[in-house]
Amino acid sequence: MYADANPPGTYYEGYEDPGDGYVDEDDEGEIPIAERELAEDAEWKLIQKNTFTRWANEHLKNKSSSVDDIQYDFADGLRLIDLIESLSGQTFRHVNRKPSFRTQKLENVTMVLRFLEENEGLRLVNIDSTDIVDCRLKLILGLIWTLILHYSITLPLWEGEDYNQGSSGPTPKQRLLSWLNSKLNERPVKNFTTDWNDGTAIGALVDACAPGLCPDWRDWEPKQKLRNATEAMNAAEQWLDVPQLIRPEEMINPRVDEKAMMTYLSQFPSAKLKDGAPLRPRANPASVRAYGPAFFWMEFGFQYLIEVRVDHAVLDEAAKLFSQQRRSRKADSEKKKNIRFRGLAVCACFSRQRFACLLFLLGPRSPAPRTQFKAFAENDTDIDWQLPENHLKENSLEPRGNKVGMPARFTIDASSAGKGSVEVIVLNPKGQREPCDIVPNTDRPNTYSCAYVPTQAGEYRVIIKFATKEIMNSPFKVMVEGAADPSKATASGPGIEPQGNQVGRRTFFNIFTTGAGEGVADCVILDPQGRQDVIKPNITRQSEDNYLVEYTPKMEGLHSVNVFFAGQQIPNSPFGVMVGPRKYKTRSILDRSLIPFHDSYAFTLSI
């Protein structure tokens, strides 16, 4: 009569309770008969019945058959046989084609149910042929739902999914929800009901299955839910061959039935785009990037400072050696793995002795301002510093470094944003618009080189639009500094002398900015342990181009005094200052008028 199919024993545990057969939403406790009859017209039940009817008719098309009311049209078993033949691909031989008697109808239905249990492996609980013949709607809906779970969700193989139909796999509900969210990266859903009510989720799904078919869903107004759902579902039906098993007005209903929604959505994994579909790649301003020195000033490592220290046996000579051999080197704009310093001359007293060199990575404004590396070598031997690449990371990424009168350049990359025009609005600190050149790059399609020339100091705002909408991170806030030349700033005073400063004694120096232009002086002091928060220098602006810096060393050892003007270090900065122990001067006072002849008395005063 029919061929064997799957082994028996399969039912959908985890979603439906096999002990109850089909579970309605109002089956929580006993309900009086009168209330139950009234509930038959509940909106969710009507939506479910209509959806299941449409689902059955879609599969009955292959048999040139249809149903108008699934409650009554399966009673003789003929159209139920047509439906199962269409779903399973099997053919039933002994069919009563003209069932006039109840027994003939029961035979047809019994044959179908036995096939589903024995060959398809479905477990049908609390339903038999009499329920179908007697038109019991609740149990008929339960049977149809079991068929939907099995043939539309569990059995099909979905592209891009690693799915195992074993007993330990996901339930049909979990499987379908997981597949949907794999497509809905920008609009994830947690359920099959309320998350779909505003129509944006179905729009996102249609566009994910066929990019460009529904590209404007991100701009849809959630309050226009019927229009949203209608547009998306019409596109899916026309170009993806996804029939509207549920209607747009039903999808947006807050009481939409979950099973009806699952039935409709289960068609999308197998949807195929038809030829000639009106795909419209969406202009996506969120994928446009803008970058360049006009926005960010990359500082790689600030400055490198060589400090030469010898073994403890000659530690007293360290200050002398350091003052002679201190070198500074600014980092290049490119990252380097190897930094080399050669030809370090060492005093003769250290001949034939090993000495250690410490390389300090100075970044006064970074969380880790000082990183130490050691290298050992004999006298007159080149030192090859192998600096780990991960230490040459950006120490700061700040919207500064732009100067008045100097072109500020940046690049706009819209290569993956679809079609649209670029617009740049540059506003100066007074809110006035300033011109900006936008030049398309011929070697890189859909990228643009831009430049503007700041006319005044202060905070600029750069607004970048693509397809009339602002891109990510727009507006960009850019700090423009007045024309400054830190190379003309100088510093002098005991506070930056290599020797002579003592622990606990306040010291000072002056910063002179004559001819250096507009800017502010600053100072950061690192103690011998590389800490920048221990010594807080007091900076006083005494005149337009003269700053007084005062500080008190807290411990002995080499200090690094970093002097800045307009955000950059001045010449010879950082200054190496060796702080020694505090020394006390002793004075003896002898007042002969108070001391007897031939006697002496000493008075000691410590200052």
171, two tokens: 């339930």
Average pLDDT over residues 536-552: 93
| Predicted pLDDT of residue 230 | 96
Lowest mean pLDDT of 129-138, 208-217, 361-370, name the range: 361-370
Average pLDDT over residues 322-330: 34
Q: In 3D, which of 324, 333, 327 has the Cα closest to residue 304? A: 327
pLDDT, tens digit (0-9, with 9 covering 90-100), for 436-487: 999 999 888 888 999 999 988 888 999 998 888 888 778 888 888 777 788 8
* pLDDT grade for 531, boundaries at 50, 70 and 90: confident
Share of the chain above pLDDT 90, in %: 44
pLDDT at 321 over 80: no
- Of the segments 246-260, 312-326, 523-537, 581-595, which one has the largest average pLDDT value? 246-260
φ and ψ of 386, to 5 deg: -105, 95
| Predicted pLDDT of residue 5 | 37
pLDDT, tens digit (0-9, with 9 covering 90-100), for 120-138: 889 888 899 999 999 999 9
pLDDT at 282 over 80: no
pLDDT at 360 over 60: no
| Predicted pLDDT of residue 291 | 62
| Predicted pLDDT of residue 67 | 94
pLDDT, tens digit (0-9, with 9 covering 90-100), for 85-100: 999 998 998 898 899 8
| Predicted pLDDT of residue 391 | 35
* pLDDT grade for 224, boundaries at 50, 70 and 90: very high
Average pLDDT over residues 13-37: 41
Per the model's pLDDT, the better-predicted residue between 418 and 432 turns out to be 432
Average pLDDT over residues 178-192: 92
pLDDT, tens digit (0-9, with 9 covering 90-100), for 174-184: 999 999 998 99
pLDDT at 374 over 70: no
For residues 98-136, b (16+ Cβ closer than 10 Å) or e, as one string? Answer: ebeeeeebbbbbbbbbebbbebbebbbeebebebbbeee
For residues 399-431, b (16+ Cβ closer than 10 Å) or e, as one string? Answer: bebbbbeeebebbbbbeebbebebebebebeee
Average pLDDT over residues 243-264: 95
Q: In 10 A of CB 68, how many CB atoms?
A: 9
* pLDDT grade for 21, boundaries at 50, 70 and 90: very low
Per the model's pLDDT, the better-predicted residue between 428 and 457 turns out to be 428
CB 375 within 8 A of CB 356: yes
| Predicted pLDDT of residue 561 | 94
244, two tokens: 């509207």
Q: Which domains does the chain have, with CATH numbers?
A: 18-154 (1.10.418.10), 172-270 (1.10.418.10), 285-295+399-481 (2.60.40.10), 302-391 (no CATH), 486-580 (2.60.40.10)
The C-alpha atoms of residue 465 and residue 593 are separated, in whole angstroms, by 92
| Predicted pLDDT of residue 355 | 38
Average pLDDT over residues 562-580: 90
| Predicted pLDDT of residue 28 | 39
Give me the chain's average pLDDT, please: 75
The C-alpha atoms of residue 411 and residue 584 are separated, in whole angstroms, by 63
pLDDT at 398 over 50: no
